[in-house]
Amino acid sequence: MIEIRLHGRGGQGAVTSAELLALATINEGKYGQAFPSFGPERRGAPVVAFFRADEKQIKVRTEITNPDLVLVLDPSILRIVKVTAGLKDDGILVANTKYTADEIRKELDLQCKVAVVNATRIAFEELGIPVTNTTMLGALLKAKPVVNPDSLIEPLQERFGRIAGKNINAFKRALKETELSF
């Protein structure tokens, strides 16, 4: 089983990202699960979403405390939330940041694998707004191909309709532009 924890801010699409991953997983004939962790969050407040995938039925329904991968949609979250808490020893941090993977590793004193992309810049250039969810899905799949990138195209088209093309472009750019430091 693969377990991913997504960190973002309310309104940035962390929950949508987890749902899109689950749909792509199911479309590949595997089992996928996505769910948010909600409290008194409001737009702009830190939020967490979760994603699981497996070849067999997923029976666990708890929050993910020991993820294989952590995805961070908003760079400011890196400094206010301990996003790597519980990350497995061979885990991966995938972050939206303008800094290099080595700079993030040093600043946060990380031992894990790190993947970075300036998703905010890509989102502005492709979508005209700083919503990074589809961009960060590209970064996630570059770091750990939990689904075939082509499997996300249909869910993106269904979810975003007439603006799906822009989201797909942002997704594909992140697949190319993500820097891996393993």
Q: What is the pLDDT of residues 28-84, one digit of tens each?
A: 999 999 999 866 556 778 899 999 999 999 999 999 999 999 999 999 999 999 999
Domains held by the chain: number: 1
Residue predicted with more confidence, 41 or 19: 19
Domain range for 136: 2-181
Q: What are the residues facing 35 on neighbouring strands?
A: 50
- CATH assignment at residue 63: 3.40.920.10
Across the chain, how many H-helices and E-strands are there? 7, 7
In sequence order, what DSSP letters do the residues of 103-116 get, joined into one string? Answer: HHHHHTT--SEEEE
pLDDT bracket for residue 153 (50, 70, 90):
very high
